[in-house]
Amino acid sequence: MFGVLRITSVLLIVASLTRVTVSIFDPLQHSGPASPYFDAPSQFGIPTATPSGCRVDQAAYILRHGSRYPEPGSFAGWQALFAKLHNQSQTYTARGPLAFLPQWVPPVDDIPHEPLFLSATGAGESFMLGVDLRKRYGFTAGGGNLTVWAASQQRVLDTATYFLRGYLSQGNYLSSPNKNRGSIVVLPDSVNFTFADSLTPSAACPNYNSGNTGSAKATAFRAGYLTKIATRLNKFLKGLTLVEGDVGVMMDLCGFQAEINGDTRFCDVFEPEEWLEYEYAHDLNYYYGSGPGNPFAAATGFPWAKAISDLFAVGPNALPENGNGNFVPPPLIMGFTHDNNLPPVLAALGLWNTSSTRGVYPLSPTTPNPVRKFRSSYLVAFRGYIALERITCGDVSGIGSGAAFVGKNGVFVRVRINNAPVPVPDCTSGPGATCPLHDFLGHVEKRSVQSGDFVQRCGLTGVANATSKVEFLTRQPEDILLVGL
Q: In the annotation, is 65 catalytic?
A: yes
Which residue would you say has higher pLDDT here, 145 or 278?
Answer: 278
Find out whether 270 and 23 touch, Cβ atoms under 8 Å: no
Predicted confidence (pLDDT) per residue in 70-101, tens digit: 999 999 999 999 999 999 778 999 999 999 99
172 — pLDDT class (breaks 50, 70, 90): low
User: Average pLDDT in the 211-215 region?
Assistant: 98
Find out whether 369 and 363 touch, Cβ atoms under 8 Å: yes
Sequence-distant (6+) residues with CB within 8 A of 300 are 196, 201, 202, 205, 208, 344, 454, 458
Domains in the chain, start-ordered, CATH in brackets? Answer: 33-68+123-205+296-483 (3.40.50.1240), 72-116+216-281 (no CATH)
Secondary structure of residue 467 in the 3-state scheme: coil
Q: Using CA of residue 245, residue 281, residue 278, residue 36, what is the dihedral sign? A: negative
Between the CA atoms of 313, 319, 322 and 324, what dihedral angle is there, to the nearest 10 degrees?
A: 160
Predicted confidence (pLDDT) per residue in 423-460, tens digit: 999 999 999 999 999 999 999 999 999 999 999 999 99
E-assigned strands of 326-443? 332-337, 385-393, 411-417, 420-422, 435-436
Give the separation between CA 50 and CA 297, rounded to whole angstroms: 31
Predicted confidence (pLDDT) per residue in 294-331, tens digit: 999 999 999 999 999 999 999 999 999 877 788 999 99
58: left (phi over 0), alpha (psi -120 to 50) or beta: beta
Predicted confidence (pLDDT) per residue in 371-407, tens digit: 999 999 999 999 999 999 999 998 544 443 333 344 3
Query: Which of 204, 270, 286 is CA-nearest to residue 236?
Result: 270
Query: Which of 419, 422, 407 is CA-nearest to residue 399?
Result: 407
Give the separation between CA 296 and CA 289, rounded to whole angstroms: 10
12 — pLDDT class (breaks 50, 70, 90): very low
Catalytic residue chosen out of the listed positions 197, 246, 310, 339: 339
Q: In the annotation, is 395 catalytic?
A: no
Flag whether pLDDT at 416 surpasses 70. yes
Give the separation between CA 168 and CA 132, rounded to whole angstroms: 11
Please report, in angstroms and rounded to a whole number, the separation of the first and last CA atoms in the chain.
Answer: 77
Burial class from Cβ neighbours inside 10 Å (0-12, 13-18, 19+) for residue 468 reads buried
Give the separation between CA 346 and CA 301, rounded to whole angstroms: 8
Quote the pLDDT of residue 20.
41
Catalytic residue chosen out of the listed positions 65, 282, 338, 443: 65
Mean pLDDT of the chain: 90
- Could you tell me how far CA 141 lies from the centroid of its own chain? 28
- DSSP β-bridge partners for residue 8: none
